[in-house]
Amino acid sequence: MERARTLQSDHFRRSAASGHTMPLVLATGAATESGHTYADVLGLVYEYPRRYRNLIQPGEVFLYYRGRRRADGGTQPQVYLGCGTIGATSAGSDPELMRCEILSYTPFPDSVPFKKADGTYLEPGGARRGYFQPGVRRVDPHTWEEIVRTATPATGRLPDNTQVPYVPTVLGREIEKISRRRVLELLRRRDDVVDVAEMPYNHPGYDIRATTVTGPLYVEVKGTQGLAPGFFLTEGERRFAAAHPADYLLAVVTGVDPATGASVDVHLLDEPPDTTDMEDGFVKWQGEAASTTVAADAASC
């Protein structure tokens, strides 16, 4: 039996980034060249110099990286420790520092070495002198995903609560293709759906237009390889949803496997995101289910 989940729309976080941004790497757990000690609590709070305030924004996904220097003057392996999402930011322990909350933290079962078996760096820029010195840096989505997947070799699947960044690549297009196909199958099984039309890629506002016995239904499809129903909405997509509250459906397909074309669940949000307490003008919105309920039958989705 197909399963469909209905999302509540009371847990949305905004991202003030301009357009689709890149994941972050946050250095932690190593001595700094300046000798400053930051008030970090792994998986809960991250403290950083104010110069990184434009990089560290709520809603951004990140990797924890532990550098070589130890506080006692010795050295340690350079590894990645886990991943998560940036939460709210605030003032730090002195005027030159800031802090951010850490959300959805997923520690890796085993730390991931910063180099592959052949000696090349997981981060493409790693061979460049001084690359690892900044405490905060960006990486491309493919690198982020490769590191996370390296941490879970047994399953080859991202941890359940992992937030997956937007991937504007061939891989991202394949994930979208599989997700659209899954949602089209669900819609065609609904008793109240008369016709279903798939829109071209990058169609403004929605991906599928269904005709039901009561009128049109505009469906926006999001797909992720993770099992958590996290997703990004552009400001244009959010505005379209808000303009069609009675005729809108957001479908988030989770556990998408590009290698097999399979997926795990379809999560459905049948009302537009409630962002009335947030400022207008943001380009990207991130959402995640605060809780889920399992529908008894896909036909009643």
User: How many angstroms separate the CA atoms of 209 and 217, rounded?
Assistant: 6
> Residue 239: CA atoms inside 13 Å, Cβ hemisphere, count?
10
Q: Which two tokens stand for residue 28?
A: 């932690």
Q: How far is CA 58 from the centre of its chain?
A: 12
Domain boundaries, the chain: 4-15+167-300, 24-150
**DSSP tally for the chain: helices H, then strands E:** 3, 16
Query: In the predicted model, what is the mean pLDDT of residues 150-161?
Result: 60
57: Cβ–Cβ under 8 A, 6 or more apart, which residues? Answer: 15, 16, 17, 86, 89
CATH code for the structural domain at 4-15+167-300 = 3.40.1350
Task: Give 207-263 pLDDT, tens digit per residue.
Answer: 999 999 999 999 999 888 777 777 777 767 888 888 888 999 999 898 888 889 999
For residues 287 and 141, what is the distance between their CA atoms, to the nearest angstrom?
Answer: 18
Specify which residues 25 forms β-bridges with. Answer: 63, 137
Strands 4-7 and 265-269: parallel
pLDDT of residue 16: 32
Q: Are 80 and 108 in contact (CB under 8 A)?
A: yes
Q: Which CATH superfamily is domain 24-150 in?
A: ph1033 like domains (3.10.590.10)
pLDDT per residue as tens digits for the range 14-35: 333 333 457 899 998 765 555 5
Read off the amino acid at residue 82. G
> Could you give the percent of the chain with pLDDT greater than 70?
72
Q: Hey, how many other C-beta atoms are within 10 angstroms of the C-beta on 283?
A: 16
pTM: 0.52
- Angle (CA) 114-118-124 rounded to 5° is 50
pLDDT tens figures, 93-131: 888 899 998 887 888 888 999 999 999 999 989 999 999
